[in-house]
Amino acid sequence: MTAYESLKKHFELVAGLRNATGLLQHDAELFMPTGSMEDRAHQVEALGTVSHRMMTAPEVAGWLDAAEKDAASLPPADRRNLQLMRRAWVQATALPEEMAAQRALLETKGNEAHIKFRKGEAGWGDVRPFYTEAFDLARTAGEMTKDALGVKTPYDASLAYWNSDIDDADVTKAFDVLEKELTGLIQKAVAQQKKKPAPLPLKGPFPRAQQKELMKRLAGAMGFDFARGRIDVTAGHPASNGTPDDARFTLNIDENDFLSQMVFCVTHEAGHALYDQNLPAAWRHQPVGAAMGMNIHEMCSRIMELHICRSLEFFQYLEKEARDVFNRPDDPALDAKNLQALAYRVQPSLVRLDADEVTYAAHIVLRHRIERDVINNGMSVDDIPAAWNKGMKELLGITPASAQEGCGQDGHWPTYGIGYFPSYTLGDMGAAQVYAAALKAKPEIPSEIAKGNFKPALDWMTDNIYSKGSLLTTDELFTQATGEKLNLKYFLEHLRKRYLGMPPATAAPHPAP
């Protein structure tokens, strides 16, 4: 067995451990008995420790060195796989074993604390220690890994944990432009909205059983393979988890409003799951066969949620299905144009998950600013609530009354999700650009969506994005799929067109991030 073949076998085993960890954490939120948390935390910690030991085993360094000497003889995909193996090894060996175990433990215990906090069963003082531990760990890990990874700051290392080929200087440059544009865009969108008749509100109840039936129809039409995945309802944060052949995602159900909870959750989380289920099967369990990074994962999700499933054609399809499932053939609120108007409402809101497409980015800009300041610039976790309230007032003109609807609304930070938030808006930027390319290649996509036929869109995404796994760099992926590197102008043009009625030609171009 060659050194490279030994590496492939080794990384396949590590992937199995990490996949098992993800499924255990998914189970902990949905099905695990409430008294089993300590036991589950021990299991996750053990898997995290063993995974780290395998990644840092002495023989791995020897295999990498030997394989790299013969790299020229390998096919391009294998050379890329070897590069990603080296990067994963560098990230792992830069951290001691106890830190890897601590990180795995935080993902479980921090989530438990956040759920209690979100439900009102605990206060900020109860959950704050998990924020402190997570930020301290991220800062220390960043200091220890930044040089090995060849990045400039500890926060760059946090970004690199979640994202592919992302530099914080570029993120900051793009977000600075976006922040300047958002204020005027939001004000104009709200003003235009006020000139139009208010959409008819949805009037519940929309029973859970019927919503679950609609959920299955939507996910199935979108291409989700129920033979290799499942969907569950959660009271917590909707999320996608699992593996390409065991994809899981969760959603929320509100019996008074099936649209803003269930439908939007399905279209977002199924977007993640479709990426996972269509990753290159020939490279299962190898770094090159995995998703590129959460910036690309969120892009895939937001293409489905905000472009394919916010078009008038989608709402025409949804109207037909909703009238049938809820047995409301004459309900005027279920008219496609009314559903679209409900989805397009622009209104600054305190909670990111409830935010409309235009104001959503403001939440991410603020999150990025705060987590960067905590990691790089010495901001204390105790300063986060005040910084959050100040930022919300500046960006959206609203101020939360408590940490539960403010800085503590999301579970990312107390579970070591530091550096993740920029993925959402980077995903929005990529989604606008990639979907524009998809429409150019397959202009029939919208008309087919109106019939409930998602296949043209799914085929294009599979050919150009999903099936690429991590075979390409971010620049290569965008260039092959769209003809150019990631460029903020497409996202701004999309927002201006959808919410201000401005054609793309009126939007000034902006440089790539």
Give me the pLDDT at residue 107, please. 84
Domain ranges, ordered by start, for the chain = 3-93, 208-332+423-506
**Which pLDDT band, with edges at 50, 70 and 90, does 503 fall under?**
confident
pLDDT tens digits for 301-338? 999 999 999 999 999 999 999 999 999 999 999 999 99
Judged against a pLDDT cut of 60, whether residue 511 lies above it is answered with: no
Judged against a pLDDT cut of 80, whether residue 509 lies above it is answered with: no
**Would you state the structure tokens that stand for residue 196, as one six-digit string?**
């139009």
pLDDT tens digits for 238-250? 889 889 999 999 9
Residue in 360, 409, 362 with CA at minimum distance from that of residue 384? 409
The predicted model gives 190-207 an average pLDDT of 94
Among the residues of 166-222, which ranges form H helices? 168-194, 208-222
Between 12 and 183, the more confident residue is: 12
User: Using CB atoms within 10 A of its CB, is residue 269 exposed (0-12), middle (13-18) or buried (19+)?
Assistant: buried
Judged against a pLDDT cut of 90, whether residue 416 lies above it is answered with: yes
Q: What is the 3-state secondary structure (H, E, C) of 69-88?
A: HCHHHCCHHHHHHHHHHHHH
Q: Phi and psi for 242 in degrees, rounded to 5?
A: 90, -155
Q: Report the chain's mean pLDDT, rounded to a whole number.
A: 93
Continuous segment of H or E residues that includes residue 68: helix 58-69
**What CATH number labels 208-332+423-506?**
1.10.1370.30
pLDDT tens digits for 470-500? 999 999 999 999 999 999 999 999 999 999 9
Judged against a pLDDT cut of 80, whether residue 508 lies above it is answered with: no
Q: Phi and psi for 62 in degrees, rounded to 5?
A: -65, -40
Which one of 7-16, 44-53, 396-405 scores highest in mean pLDDT?
Answer: 7-16
**Cα 103 to Cα 90: distance, rounded to the nearest angstrom:** 17
pLDDT tens digits for 425-458? 999 999 999 999 999 999 999 999 999 999 999 9
